[in-house]
Amino acid sequence: MLLARESPKAVVIRRGPSKTTATIAWDRRKDTFTVGQWVRARIYERRCDLSPEGKWFIYFSMNGRWNSETRGSWTAISRAPYLKAIALFAKGDCWNGGGLFTKEQRYWLNDGYGHTALRDDSRLRRDLKFRPLDHYGNECTGIYYLRLQRDGWTLKKHDRSERLNALAVFEKPAAAGWVLRKFAHEQIGAPPGNGCYWDEHELQHMESGLRIPAKDWQWADMDGKRVVWAANGELWAGYLKTEGLSNARCLHDFNDMKFEAIAAPY
């Protein structure tokens, strides 16, 4: 899930089966969902970003067609929630890629070993002055950890003592004295159903010390005063009171979605 910082818009990235991915618009005021487009490729969700107002979507994708125009992997910018590129950069490998929006129409390209520009759009400008506050590697964490900190998460710990099993711990203030904690794993040999980058969560009340483990939450964040999270292919929301989580409800079940050939309206 990518939440726009300055509007109630959001984009859901739904993967599966295999290298098939859909993007879905989520109106967080009404909790309505509209399918954008499908692509027969992997989208690296941790290397994506949504512009502050939610109009533009930057993503990194791979289909492995290494002799094609995009050389098998690419960074693209589209009109959210669609995938049709208005700006397109061939990559040719899976190092770096993707980017971040520094303003509504200005973006930083996670260039690394280099892109080849295939298409551009005059409405967007590449931000050549932006410098990341830290370097977290050349794969998903290089974008993901920057995006989390920009969006209000505090990095509390980054343990790299085990080269193939690192852990970063992030915290964000929640409602009613609670803190939402994110455990971001970088792990070779991850538990079944997870890739080498995977998250789990917990809630802790800072006064009472009460903890609510949420190991099955694959994604979670604060949406105003409510907690929103994804688990088992479903998106949920609930509210925090001093005594715990209440009024939890499923906003949408994405499990039964199947590939559709949908044209972008531009």
pLDDT in tens, 171-209: 999 999 999 999 999 999 888 888 899 999 999 999 999
Domain containing 219 equals 153-258
Residues 197 and 234 placed together within one structural domain of the fold: yes
Q: Does pTM top 0.75 for this prediction? A: yes
Residues 57 and 78 placed together within one structural domain of the fold: yes
pLDDT digits (tens, 9 = 90+) for 208-227: 999 999 999 999 999 999 99
Residues 196 and 124 placed together within one structural domain of the fold: no
Residues 40 and 136 placed together within one structural domain of the fold: yes
**What would you measure as the largest C-alpha separation in the chain, in angstroms?**
58
Please identify, among 151, 166, 182, the residue that sits at the C-terminal boundary of a domain. Answer: 151
Contacts of 172 (CB under 8 A, 6+ apart): 152, 153, 154, 179, 180, 182, 221, 222
Q: 150 phi and psi, to 5 degrees? A: -60, -35
Residues 123 and 188 placed together within one structural domain of the fold: no
Whole-angstrom distance, CA of residue 173 vs CA of residue 23: 28
Say if 265 falls within a structural domain: no
Both tokens of 89, joined, read: 């950069």
Say if 108 falls within a structural domain: yes
Residues 233 and 250 placed together within one structural domain of the fold: yes
Residues 128 and 215 placed together within one structural domain of the fold: no
Say if 52 falls within a structural domain: yes
Alpha-carbon 118 to chain mean position: 25
Instruction: List Cα–Cα distances, 35 to 53, 123, 199, 232, in angstroms.
Output: 19, 25, 25, 19
Residues 177 and 130 placed together within one structural domain of the fold: no
Average pLDDT over all residues of the chain: 96
